[in-house]
Structure 1
Amino acid sequence: MPDTVLPAAPPDSAALVALLDRLRPGDWLAFASDDTPLAHGTPTLRVDAPLEHVAGAVLPLLPISRHTHDPLLRWTAAEADPDIADLTYAMQGLASDGSGRRMTAAAIDDTLLRGGVDAVDAAIRVPWHGVPFHFLVCVGGGAHRPTDLTAPQPALAEAG
């Protein structure tokens, strides 16, 4: 699915609704900067608005998983960047407000990001001139198997 550019107004277009409607409980939605990797073929929507505006419009509409141990994950190319710290606080607050419970963004490293990118079911890209980032949100709204990207996967645990 090619990227679609929406206006800077709150993302309430049919393209956003179609992207969110395809998500099921246990799926992962990525909020990503323009220059971060995504798996080939990931349905992606490009919104020409700051992350805080986009997440503020989407997260109240999107139930966040109560079955997944870490339903909000964060990856960044430079952990100590103060702009990323501000984005992390904003995402935690917006996810907390949207879910009705306190949310903390668990940090993932480059190795977990590779698996996380493959697990992403849909993505929203936003313009960003700082260090690259991903915020991954596990969708709730119904019964589903936990999809913990930070937990050892059975196949990996058996192989090791």
Structure 2
Amino acid sequence: MLKNLPPVITGPLLTLLADLRPGQWLALAPEGAPMLEHAPSVTVDLPLDLLAAALFEVVPVADTSDSPLALWAIDRHDDSLDDLVFAVQGLAGDATGRRVRATSVSDAELVADAADTAAAVIRVPFDGAPFIFFLRTGGDDRATVARSATRSAHSSARAATLEPSTC
């Protein structure tokens, strides 16, 4: 049993994440976002910023790439999207301990191959124009996201049971 997982990481979402391998891309997008029909998908009823905060607790972010985060948006001037970009970049930076900026994906790149690179998709509610965040997963070659979550849960449990030293 896994402990200390964020409550929004439910069974279907954990199953989707468990199948991701290091180096694969996870897409985060609203229902209306195009080009992602080929990948396994889970819909969560949670705003993207809250979902991202939970994901970055259990999904390792690639550290071998200068750009582990990419963004395609139909309307790059949508104020509500700007807020999401800053939130997701900040949360990714907190998780990695380094500054993370989302690189831009053009329409041509999306059609040519970006959408096909998504190994899994998490759909979120959003009333604005469609967008897709692509997150490159990290970890070593033997690791999976589920193992990372398990290690995180075990480390938290171990830390909670350690007694303070008496010197």
Question: What TM-score, normalized by structure 2, do the two folds share?
Answer: 0.76
1:97 counterpart (94, 97, 115): 94
- CA offsets per residue over residues 92-113 of structure 1, 9 Å max, x none? 0111112222111111110112
- CA offsets per residue over residues 70-92 of structure 1, 9 Å max, x none? 11001111111111111100010
Match of 2:46 in 1: 49
SS of equivalent to 1:36: coil
Match of 1:118 in 2: 116
Larger proportion of helix: 2
- CA offsets per residue over residues 35-71 of structure 1, 9 Å max, x none? 0113433110100110011111111211111122311
Contact kept in structure 1, 2:69 and 2:135, CA below 8 Å: yes
Match of 1:140 in 2: 138
Q: CA deviation at 1:13?
A: 1.0
Higher relative contact order (CA 8 A, sep 6+): 2
Q: Give structure 2 stretches of 5+ with no counterpart.
A: 1-5, 143-167
Question: In 1, Cα distance between the equivalents of 2:43 and 2:118?
Answer: 15
Across the aligned residues of Structure 1 and Structure 2, the Cα RMSD in angstroms comes to: 1.7
Letter in 1 for 2:128: G
- Aligned-pair identity (%): 38
Question: In 2, Cα distance between the equivalents of 1:92 and 1:64?
Answer: 12
Match of 2:28 in 1: 31
Question: In 2, Cα distance between the equivalents of 1:15 and 1:32?
Answer: 17
Contact kept in structure 2, 1:61 and 1:98, CA below 8 Å: no
Q: Measured at CA, do residues 67 and 143 of structure 1 come closer, stay the same or move farther in structure 2, by a change above 3 Å?
A: farther
1:83 to 2:80 alignment: yes
Question: In 2, Cα distance between the equivalents of 1:40 and 1:124?
Answer: 12
Question: In 2, Cα distance between the equivalents of 1:61 and 1:32?
Answer: 19
SS of equivalent to 1:89: helix
Contact kept in structure 1, 2:36 and 2:121, CA below 8 Å: no
Between Structure 1 and Structure 2, whose CA radius of gyration is higher? 2
